[in-house]
Structure 1
Amino acid sequence: MSALIAPLALLIERFTGYPNALFKAIGHPVTWIGALITLLDRRLNTGYNRKRNGVLALVLILAATALATIPIMLVCRAVPFGWMIEALLATTLLAQKALADAVCAVATSLRRSLPEGRAAVAHIVGRDPEALDAPGVARAAIESLAESTSDGVIAPLFWLVIGGLPGVALYKAVNTADSMIGHKTERHRDFGWASARFDDLLNLIPARLSAILIAGAAFFIKGAHPEAAWATALRDAKRHDSPNAGWPEAAIAGALDFALGGRRTYAGETVALPTFGTGRPDLGPDDIDRALKLYAITLNLALALTTVTCLTLWRLA
């Protein structure tokens, strides 16, 4: 029955998410990992050989995560119905519901007013919200949805299938480290190098798989373009600085005939980023809704593919 861990976790988390009461009581696994990363950043991000210290920090993060999750997995798989407990624990490291709720909140807020839309989108993007007009708010929400479809859902799901609870936990540890210290700033350029490069490696397959699933989901939406989704991903994904982030963003842009990316402002500094897709840039709340519908069908396909894959692997074992 352990073959059902990944699909069960995906199904449960989609409808329940992570309970707010539980977060208030004990926090979240990602916040625990984040606390460790903050400690290592403070203690090890000094001296002349920061790149070496960053490698050491990554090893310590991975070791702590493995030590915390491998014994849990072994116990769960040794007791009756323990696989269900492992699936429940794995739900904490997926983000389907939280992502959908956050992006939906942007559409709802933007319909009321631009200031409310800016406030809502500020919860899911790092760019300056006050520099965004209404189409900019909509594009930011859709771009965040696209990128998080890969690294918040498909990638952790992929590593859950591969390695069970330890696999998904190790992925989230690396992804969290990349988001916290994998920046090209003066402080983290060297120290976060190992985390950023390892995160790139872990996302190589999931990012492309995300684009394929998005293209597949476009078949089920009236007016969407599955062929354009994949063609746009092949053409435009390589424009992104990241080897992975451009794939789901370009796929959504092609599927829905959007133009995503472009100029954005961070901490008062305007950055020119590549454009994905050749469609409309003047997006609004209704376009966010269309992207969310595409996202929902993408999750359906991911669940179906995961179930078939896990049962096939079980039969072959």
Structure 2
Amino acid sequence: MIAFLAAVIERLAGYPQGLVDRIGHPVMWIGSLIGFLDTRLNRPEKSFEIRKIRGILALAIVILVTLIVALGISELLDLLPFGWVIEVLIASSLLAQKGLRDAVMGVADALRSDGLDGARHAVGQIVGRDTAGLDEAEISRAAIETLAENASDGVIAPLLYLALFGLPGAAVYKAINTCDSMIGHRSERHEAFGWAAAKLDDIVNIIPARLTALLFAGGARFLDGADPQAALRTAQRDAQHHASPNAGWPEAALAGALDFGLGGPRSYRGERVDLPGMGDGRRALGADDIATAISLYDRAMLLALGGVAVWALLRWML
């Protein structure tokens, strides 16, 4: 029930900007710990193997601290008459359903009203690739790809672990995912230190990524013009070619459902990276296509919410 109520509240209200300004966000707190450990333990003068071991240690520390805090909060709230209400509110902060939707829709709105410069700035807030030279189609694809990938990482994965393991499960997932986001890169600084974070993030996202692909296929049944069968076929065909073992599943499913062509070359810090394509549909996408992708996302998230409600009911009955 905690997971269901948390998802409903987050879908309606998100995480208020006022709270971010006053106290920050749980991911920011976790990120501060990761940054501290990265600074203290990730010494460039150390050997590759030593930095790899230190990265494993840093990951373990972050997970352990997060788990202890989350368990402590859960135990404390169990002692309060309406502690579950507070737990629902805290759990809702670990989901990013509304925030992701608003950020991606902001790119479509910028394309319509602010031109390419405004849209480049908007998409630059949610992607890691270089955005200065992107045209309308490239901006649109970047926004849609981020929507697909983060539907798994930012919504379905934490919601799944929240439903299965409560607040500690969702918190630990966010800790792992934040470690991967901050240090799980194949850069000179983090290839060794972030190795464990990247590997563990791949493991914990195996099921959520594929579940998200299924949800996009399911959502396509309720969206005019979308093709659920094509979503499944494209995911099975193209996901294996993605650089990530998980990100390709939701991206390819969304591409197939809407007959989009996603993926392909892009630039990071001035360096061109040739990534495989996801889907073989239209690549000349625009603001209206972003809105269509969000419509599919909305339906997929409603299906997820329905699944969590059924799970809560079964647990209550048993």
TM-score if structure 1 supplies the norm length? 0.97
Give 1:41's match in structure 2, choosing from 38, 43, 54.
38
Q: Which amino acid aligns with 1:44?
A: L
Listed as ranges, the matches of 1:97-116 within 5 Å are 97-112=98-113, 113-116=115-118
| Partner residue, 2:155 | 153
> SS at 1:185's partner residue?
coil
Does 2:85 correspond to 1:84? yes
| Partner residue, 1:7 | 4
Listed as ranges, the matches of 1:159-198 within 5 Å are 159-198=161-200
User: 1 CA distance for matches of 2:154 and 2:190?
Assistant: 23
| Partner residue, 1:227 | 229
User: 2 CA distance for matches of 1:184 and 1:267?
Assistant: 13
> SS at 2:157's partner residue?
helix
Listed as ranges, the matches of 1:197-276 within 5 Å are 197-276=199-278
User: 1 CA distance for matches of 2:150 and 2:10?
Assistant: 15
CA distances 1:277-311 after superposition (whole Å, capped 9, x unpaired)? 01000000000000000011111101000110122
- Runs (5+) with no aligned partner, structure 1: none
Q: Deviation at 1:80?
A: 2.4
Give the count of matched residue pairs. 313
Q: Deviation at 1:81?
A: 2.6
User: 1 CA distance for matches of 2:73 and 2:124?
Assistant: 36
Pick which of 81-90 and 272-281 moved more.
81-90
| Partner residue, 1:132 | 134
CA distances 1:79-138 after superposition (whole Å, capped 9, x unpaired)? 323222111100111001110110011001011211111111000001111121110000
Q: Deviation at 1:76?
A: 2.0
User: 1 CA distance for matches of 2:256 and 2:78?
Assistant: 43
User: 2 CA distance for matches of 1:81 and 1:219?
Assistant: 39
| Partner residue, 2:94 | 93
Q: Which amino acid aligns with 2:189?
A: R
Give 2:301's match in structure 1, choosing from 290, 299, 302.
299
Listed as ranges, the matches of 1:42-81 within 5 Å are 42-46=39-43, 47-48=46-47, 49-81=50-82
User: 2 CA distance for matches of 1:189 and 1:310?
Assistant: 41
User: 2 CA distance for matches of 1:156 and 1:307?
Assistant: 15
Give 1:27's match in structure 2, choosing from 18, 24, 28.
24
Q: Percent identity?
A: 56
| Cα RMSD for the two superposed structures | 0.8
**Which 4+ residue blocks in structure 1 deviate beyond 4 angstroms?**
none
Contact 1:253 1:276 in 2 (8 A): yes
User: 1 CA distance for matches of 2:209 and 2:175?
Assistant: 17
User: 1 CA distance for matches of 2:273 and 2:198?
Assistant: 20
- Runs (5+) with no aligned partner, structure 2: none
Q: Which amino acid aligns with 1:292?
A: I
> SS at 1:184's partner residue?
coil
User: 1 CA distance for matches of 2:57 and 2:242?
Assistant: 28
User: 1 CA distance for matches of 2:247 and 2:274?
Assistant: 16
TM-score if structure 2 supplies the norm length? 0.97
Q: Deviation at 1:11?
A: 0.2
| Partner residue, 2:15 | 18
